[in-house]
């Protein structure tokens, strides 16, 4: 595989055989399953009945930003495996098998017990999600508690970026990307420009951003692997993947992303007919909120216990996380409208939810997130 060649099933198999990661007999006996995985990158899952399974990831050829992200992710995995100061992260990350910078791809471990959140068993009948909230809280707490500054200024994480997420700048996109906006995204910008208070709230979140902790930066269901007891069985652990956007920042960004993930999932899962009115959609969303509250409550309680926050510290964190949740909802609405002439119904729904949270964040903590005032356990 040359640097200009995209990953394909044939090239993945050739690499595995050439590097002795699998044997030809494994393929001839049918003990290996190769699947192309969806995503913005070229991704393949190689699943063996034995212990040797792999995940391949390569940026789209010609995408400098994507190749840089793959390099950042590979370097992060390498630092975690090499530096014992980051040992507390190892239980929550897959192992890096290989990084091929010349060919622009990395290879991660993929055990048969690792499944996507949609494949894992024991799903909640109300949301269709497995009970992973507590595992996710423990994994994020481990990340956020890592010492990011050495006593002599030396830290294994010092090379990570510290900039706030780009979602905080959506109301004021830079001139160079304006020409690439879809008509649907322009529609979102017009709505935001009519609400200058939201831009001010995003500015406040940006101004308060502090590079005090390791944050994943792109937390969503697609970036979780659930470790299960047996195929389709109960979850027993969790791995965080896709560390391309890892940075030093505010833990509230990751927590707000968890809140956003539950809310967005519930919106996408609503069983609505095409002709559903906004009133019917609102009623359906309200009906699924108790299940959302239950999952978020378990996550929040486990997280604040793991990081040992005082009531005052918990409320401060919850306030910031609520703001970042609204920003992440806004980001998702913007991304889901990237190629659309008008906002899809799902994007319009989470955009409205974002606007509602921005309008009254404290009320949203109880009504939307189901968390009590004071930041205590849910």
Structure token pair of residue 278:
């906004």
Q: At what angle do helices 278-306 and 133-144 cross, to 10 degrees?
A: 50
- Give the residue ranges of the chain where pLDDT is below 70: 1-4, 61-64, 150-153, 231-232, 273-276, 374-375, 378
* pLDDT in the model for residue 2: 42
Tell me the CA distances in angstroms from 21 to 7, 108, 179, 201, 309, one per residue in order.
17, 12, 45, 51, 45
- Distance of alpha carbon 9 from alpha carbon 31, whole angstroms: 16
* pLDDT in the model for residue 63: 65
Its pTM stands at 0.93
Name, in order, each residue with C-beta under 8 angstroms of 376's C-beta and a sequence gap of 6 or more.
304, 311, 314
Name, in order, each residue with C-beta under 8 angstroms of 54's C-beta and a sequence gap of 6 or more.
16, 21, 45, 46, 97, 107, 108, 109, 110
- Distance of alpha carbon 319 from alpha carbon 334, whole angstroms: 23
- Closest listed residue to residue 310, CA positions, set 369, 371, 375, 253: 375
CA angle 208, 214, 219 (to 5 degrees): 90
CA angle 116, 269, 237 (to 5 degrees): 25
* pLDDT in the model for residue 323: 97
CA angle 234, 236, 237 (to 5 degrees): 135
What are the structural domains of the chain? Answer: 9-112 (3.30.200.20), 123-223+248-367 (3.90.1200)
């Amino acid at each position: 595989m040359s640097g200009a060649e995209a990953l394909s099933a044939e090239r993945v198999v050739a690499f595995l055989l050439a590097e002795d990661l699998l044997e030809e007999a494994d393929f001839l006996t049918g003990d290996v399953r190769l699947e192309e995985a969806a995503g913005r990158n070229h991704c393949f899952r190689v699943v063996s009945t034995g212990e040797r399974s792999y995940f391949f990831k390569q940026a789209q050829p010609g995408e400098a930003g994507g190749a840089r992200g793959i390099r950042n992710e590979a370097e992060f995995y390498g630092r975690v495996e090499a530096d014992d100061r980051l040992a507390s992260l190892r239980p929550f990350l897959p192992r890096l098998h290989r990084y091929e910078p010349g060919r622009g791809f990395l290879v991660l471990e993929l055990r048969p017990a690792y499944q996507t959140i949609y494949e894992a068993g024991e799903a909640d009948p109300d949301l269709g999600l497995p009970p992973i909230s507590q595992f996710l809280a423990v994994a994020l707490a481990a990340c956020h508690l890592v010492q990011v500054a050495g006593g002599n200024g030396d830290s294994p994480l010092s090379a990570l970026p510290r900039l706030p997420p780009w979602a905080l700048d959506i109301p004021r996109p830079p001139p160079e990307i304006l020409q690439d906006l879809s008509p649907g995204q322009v529609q979102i910008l017009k709505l935001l420009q009519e609400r200058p208070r939201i831009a001010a709230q995003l500015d406040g979140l940006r101004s308060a951003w502090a590079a005090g902790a390791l944050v994943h930066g792109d937390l969503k269901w697609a970036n979780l692997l659930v470790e299960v007891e047996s195929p389709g069985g109960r979850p027993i652990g969790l791995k965080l993947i896709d560390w391309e956007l890892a940075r030093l920042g505010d833990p509230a960004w990751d927590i707000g992303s968890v809140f956003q993930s539950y809310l967005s999932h519930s919106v996408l899962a609503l069983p609505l007919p095409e002709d559903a009115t906004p009133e019917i959609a609102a009623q359906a969303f309200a009906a699924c909120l108790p299940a959302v509250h239950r999952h978020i409550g378990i996550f929040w309680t486990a997280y604040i216990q793991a990081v040992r926050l005082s009531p005052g510290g918990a409320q401060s964190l919850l306030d910031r996380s609520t703001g970042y949740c609204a920003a992440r909802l806004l980001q998702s609405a913007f991304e889901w409208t990237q190629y659309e002439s008008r906002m899809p119904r799902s994007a319009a729904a989470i955009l409205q939810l974002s606007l509602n949270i921005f309008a009254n964040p404290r009320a949203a903590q109880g009504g939307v997130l189901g968390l009590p005032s004071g930041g205590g356990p849910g």
